[in-house]
Amino acid sequence: AGLSQWFPALELLDVSGTGLTEMGTELLSLPCLHTLLAKNNRLGGPGSLPKGLGQAPLARSLRVLNLSGNRFSEVPPALLQLRGLRSLSLGGNRLQGIPPDIQELHSLEFLYLGGNFITAIPPELAKLPSLRYLVLCDNKIQSIPPQLAQLHSLRSLSLHNNLLTYLPREILNLVHLDELSLRGNPLVVRFVRDLTYNPPSLQELAGRTVKTRNIPYTPSDLPESLVRYLSLASNCPNPKCGGVYFDSCVRQIKFVDFCGKYRLPLMHYLCSPECSSPFSSASQSSTSQSESDSEDEASVAAHRMQKVLLG
């Protein structure tokens, strides 16, 4: 209670680089604290954060929390109750992943998780409506969930020094993104076709026929499970196809121009191998189907991506 007694209106507290292994309960009674900086300490073990953090006045007042350069192996669950947080930094820790409950931090605008051991991004991360800056550099991330395209407020996405070999084509939907950092990833440098294709099941073949031929049906005609299945049809993105797919599709990497300078590998999903471009080499002299398809997307994307940092 000493802090609250002597500094009842304390708004900013910086205890960085002090060798802390835990923070005491005196924090909980600081009703005006909006910025807490505790970088480069030894926090991360049991009891590092005071119990009752999520129910304390601090949980409502805190806006900025920086715990970078500590020893956390997971995002402490108590932090996910700080619903007023706008900025959260946990860079340079030992995080193995990102908890799906990160979606509870609805006010978050800045999230820094660089320099950890994160291997995957949960789709729930896309449910942060105010997120503007997302830093995931220097991790071990192998793929980006297409749901990230729902982060409509995102301005900057840092993914350098990971293990990415492609990006989902949905990334083009990040209409306000003006900085995308990708250097230090093993992004593929030539076209890769027909990565996987499992033949459709009889159920899928029937479902495709119903959808492509617009065969009418009502819930009284079919079991509820089949009605639900038919509602899950995805339209083939090939504009010359017009088909649909359910579970069976061809994954194909297609390069799209950004800013007239860079070519980024984006993942596409096609309904069958017949939808793939008939050519198989990017070195052919004639303009390929895949390249010509890219041009429309490139013209749309060029003005969106002001900075694509690949160097």
Are the C-beta atoms of residues 186 and 166 closer than 8 Å to each other? Answer: no
Provide the pLDDT for residue 124.
95
Question: Pick from 258, 238, 264: which is nearest to 305 by CA?
Answer: 258
Provide the pLDDT for residue 157.
94
Query: Strand pairing of 250-258 and 262-270?
Result: antiparallel
Provide the pLDDT for residue 276.
62
Are the C-beta atoms of residues 154 and 170 closer than 8 Å to each other? Answer: no
Whole-number Å distance between alpha carbons of 154 and 148: 9
DSSP assigned state of 217: -
Are the C-beta atoms of residues 108 and 128 closer than 8 Å to each other? Answer: yes
Tell the residue number behind the tokens 């033949």, with chain if given: 199
Token pair of 143, please? 């793929």
Across the beta sheet with 262-270, the strand order is 167-168, 262-270, 250-258
Provide the pLDDT for residue 246.
82
Domains and CATH numbers, the chain: 3-193 (3.80.10.10)
Are the C-beta atoms of residues 70 and 89 closer than 8 Å to each other? Answer: no
Per-residue pLDDT of the chain (311 residues; tens, 9 = 90+): 445 555 667 889 999 999 999 988 888 888 889 999 999 999 999 889 988 888 888 888 999 999 999 999 999 999 999 999 999 999 999 999 999 999 999 999 999 999 999 999 999 999 999 999 999 999 999 999 999 999 999 999 999 999 998 888 888 888 888 888 888 888 765 434 434 567 788 998 999 999 889 999 988 888 888 888 998 888 887 777 888 888 887 776 766 666 555 667 777 777 777 776 543 333 222 233 333 344 444 444 555 555 666 65
Residue 59 backbone dihedrals phi, psi, to 5 degrees: -65, -25
3-state secondary structure of 156: strand
